[in-house]
A and B are shown apart, each in its own frame.
Chain A
Amino acid sequence: MVYKKRLDGRAIDELRPMEAKAGVIPNAAGSAYFKIGKTMCYAAVYGPRELFPKFLQNPEKGLLRCHYSMMPFSGSGERIRPGNNRRAQEISMVMTSALEPVVDLTAFPNAVVDIFVDLPQTDAGTRCAAISAAAIALADAGIPMKDMISSVAVGQVDGLVVADLMYDEEAYEGIVSDIPVAVMHNTKEITLLQMDGEISKADLMKALELAAQVTEKVYEVQKKALKEKFTSD
């Protein structure tokens, strides 16, 4: 049972339909809405603002802090109990390290820039969507960044290397590997890399090359969202 045709008919390098909008949360310094397939998220940036507890303060530059959270009704099964969630904490951490390489907070010593991402509904690729949304929100907030970060999950489903796995592909019976990747637009350097499953080195390198290619499509959506705010007169 080799996976030849994708469950929803997409090509191997085809991403699900995407939608993005910047500046959707007026209270925040910057914000974004990002949707890919059925995975949807809101991102809001608050700061630079005073950082507590004080021992976290860094006199050389500001701190970037991501907070990822799924809404109780956003899981594909039962309700998710709000509260301490180890998966969410881990995603918050990897999100932060995915964005840190491009963000310049040297003008904000001892301060913090908080990014909150919350998801009303999910269908795989959640941490990637969160990172792409967060990057738009940071740019919308005017936080200095050397480049944009775009993120998508690539992987391998029963021998086929594909981009943007949906839930049913992640759960496919057979050998599956799910690889969330985040990429700096100009240099294609990788700022997020995780993997679940099994994959040969050859397929892994193929998947990473695919990631560098398809994140361009995410970048186009992010760029459009940021510029759209200013084109309607």
Chain B
Amino acid sequence: MSNIVIKERDIVIPGEVLAEGMDYLPGDNTYREQDKIYSKVVGLVSISGRVVKITPLSGPYVPKVGDKIIGKVIDITFSGWRVDTGTAYSAMLNVKEATTRFIKKEENLSEIIAIGEYVVAKIVNVTSQNLIDLTMREPGLYNIAGGRIIKINSQKVPRVIGKQGSMIQLIKENTGCEITVGQNGLVWLKGTPEGELLAEKAIHLIEEKAHTEGLTERMQKFLTEQKSKVNN
């Protein structure tokens, strides 16, 4: 007799029983032992047909091919730049992948991207040992200048971006900032100092309340209130 013991959007901790019996399937962040499905993390229950999965409420970033990330250049070798991704694994940006133009052998790589600079890049390869290869050859990938970079938990990135970018769009409109969200949890904000600060506060609020419903309305209210405070 199959039995699901939790419901959609319940918050569970590691080891909590989600379902009993063989009718349900273990999805992301769960595992099955004998006839029970258990959670592996602290997160929100999500049931989709027969699949039970957990959306984690915190956790390390796991690099994936196709992810756009923000990283910091920490070293320059003769083959390119080594980039800190904010995880246990650094990434390589090969000279050939840095820009669409051809980089000559004698060029000083640090004049193209210097150590300490931040870049928006895309992951093109991840090995089994989590070594990462990056590219910056596509549009929308560039060196970062000005503004500020903040860090959020990578698991909250989907909430900060919102369905089809709706949440991030809301923040952009209300703060006048350019915003780029890296899948690894680094976020770049550029606008007026006051606009950037408001965007920063808004993003941290989303992080804090990511598990709640009605977040869009809440953020709309927050942004409107904060804006009127500044204008008064």
Contacts and interface: CB of A to CB of B under 8 A. Distances in A.
Contact of A109 (B15, B33, B57, B129): B129
B88 A142 contact: no
A142 B15 contact: no
Given A142-B41, A142-B56, A110 B129 contact: yes
Interface in B53-80: 56-60, 62
Give the size category of A's interface with B: 35 or more
A222 B162 CA distance: 32
A140 to B, nearest CB: 7
Contact of A139 (B14, B31, B62): B14
A175 interface: no
Contact of B13 (A59, A110, A112, A227): A227
A143 B59 contact: yes
Interface residues of B, number: 30
Interface in A36-77: 47-51, 59, 62
Contacts of A51: 88
Question: How would you classify the secondary structure of chain A's contact residues: helix, strand, loop or mixed?
Answer: loop
Interface in B1-38: 11, 13-15, 17, 29, 31, 33, 38
Interface stretch (A11-19, A84-92, A145-153, A202-210): A145-153
A142 B42 contact: yes
A75 B80 CA distance: 53
A141 B14 contact: no
B88 A147 contact: no
B88 A145 contact: no
B88 A111 contact: yes
B128 interface: yes
B140 to A, nearest CB: 28
Could you say which of B15, B38, B62, B90 has the most chain A C-beta atoms within 10 Å of its C-beta?
B15
Interface in A82-127: 102, 104, 107-112
Interface of A: 29-30, 47-51, 59, 62, 102, 104, 107-112, 139-148, 184-186, 222-223, 226-227, 230-231, 233
18 contacts: A47-B88, A49-B88, A59-B129, A104-B40, A108-B60, A108-B88, A108-B130, A109-B128, A111-B89, A139-B14, A142-B58, A144-B40, A145-B14, A145-B15, A145-B40, A146-B38, A147-B15, A230-B211
Interface of B: 11, 13-15, 17, 29, 31, 33, 38, 40-42, 56-60, 62, 87-90, 128-130, 153, 155, 209, 211-212
